[in-house]
């Protein structure tokens, strides 16, 4: 049963002060880059649930990905994945159905050999997936989280990481939302509630030392051949 209700809207909400740093240096062997749901349905024109601002994040995310590749940083792509009659379709309609164009990770960020793709069926990248185990067995303490949609899968994944006591780092230009309210809500939650570190630009995140996640044959530029989980 549902009762009669009303819609709240048209309000002006003041955003509290949110601390942002310009630069951070993270040890390559104790850091992971998690790229959340950068798939055609969310990013590209014609996508079923396109986030208009998502395309602007491709360049900054690509920069971080290239740095991670050069530094041997563990990199995990989450790939939102749905099947026939998924319960989420009642909320969002059909999207990222496995095997379709919309389900695929965008070409600009295509994983290469030595990177891990984790298919997830819910907003949270940790729910029902091996991400936590992958991070722990590889000695990861810090996670850099980027992708879309900011207040949905990005925030749920970042919060799950924080609740497992990983330190979360998030660049402002590496996430996208459907509107400004959702974008700033995400930043506020990551900073205030989960004590994550917000970085002004992806360019300000650098990896020090060398991690063990070498990409065989990688010489710059995206490609295919990821390790799927």
Q: Please give the pLDDT value at position 2.
A: 60
Q: Please give the pLDDT value at position 23.
A: 98
Question: Do 21 and 167 meet the contact criterion of CB atoms below 8 Å apart?
Answer: no
Q: Please give the pLDDT value at position 217.
A: 75
> What does each of the 229 residues of the chain score in pLDDT, given as a tens digit?
566 778 888 888 899 999 999 999 999 999 999 999 999 999 999 999 999 999 999 999 999 999 999 999 999 999 999 998 899 899 998 899 999 999 999 999 999 999 999 999 999 999 999 999 999 999 999 999 999 999 999 999 999 999 999 999 999 999 999 999 999 999 999 999 999 999 999 999 999 999 999 998 777 654 443 444 4
Which residues are marked as active site?
Answer: 37, 120, 153
Question: Do 75 and 36 meet the contact criterion of CB atoms below 8 Å apart?
Answer: no
Strands 205-208 and 167-171: unpaired
Q: Is 66 left (phi over 0), alpha (psi -120 to 50) or beta?
A: alpha
CATH superfamily of 34-228: Isochorismatase-like (3.40.50.850)
46: CB partners within 8 A, 6+ apart:
40
pTM of the predicted model as reported, rounded to 2 decimal places? 0.93
Q: Please give the pLDDT value at position 224.
A: 40
Q: Please give the pLDDT value at position 3.
A: 65
| Whether residue 141 has a cis bond before it, omega within 30° of 0 | no
């Amino acid at each position: 049963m549902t009762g009669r209700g009303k819609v709240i809207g048209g309000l002006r909400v003041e955003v509290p002060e949110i601390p942002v740093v310009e630069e951070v240096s993270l040890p390559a062997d104790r850091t992971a880059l998690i790229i959340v749901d950068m798939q055609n349905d969310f990013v590209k024109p014609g996508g079923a649930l396109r986030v208009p601002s998502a395309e602007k994040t491709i360049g900054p995310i690509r920069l971080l990905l290239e740095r991670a590749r050069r530094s041997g940083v563990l990199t995990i792509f989450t790939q939102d994945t749905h099947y026939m009659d998924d319960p989420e379709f009642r909320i969002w309609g059909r999207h990222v159905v496995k095997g379709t164009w919309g389900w695929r990770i965008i070409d600009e960020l295509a994983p290469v050999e030595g990177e891990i793709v984790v298919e997830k069926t819910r907003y949270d990248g940790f729910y029902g997936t091996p991400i936590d185990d992958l991070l722990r067995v590889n000695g990861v303490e810090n996670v850099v989280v980027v992708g879309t949609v900011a207040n949905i899968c990005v925030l749920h994944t970042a919060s799950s990481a924080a609740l497992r006591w990983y330190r979360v780092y998030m660049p402002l230009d590496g996430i996208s939302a459907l509107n400004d309210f959702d974008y700033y809500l995400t930043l506020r939650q990551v900073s205030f509630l989960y004590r994550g570190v917000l970085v002004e630009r992806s360019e300000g995140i650098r990896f020090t030392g060398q991690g063990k996640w070498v990409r065989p044959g990688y010489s710059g530029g995206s490609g295919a051949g990821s390790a799927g989980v």
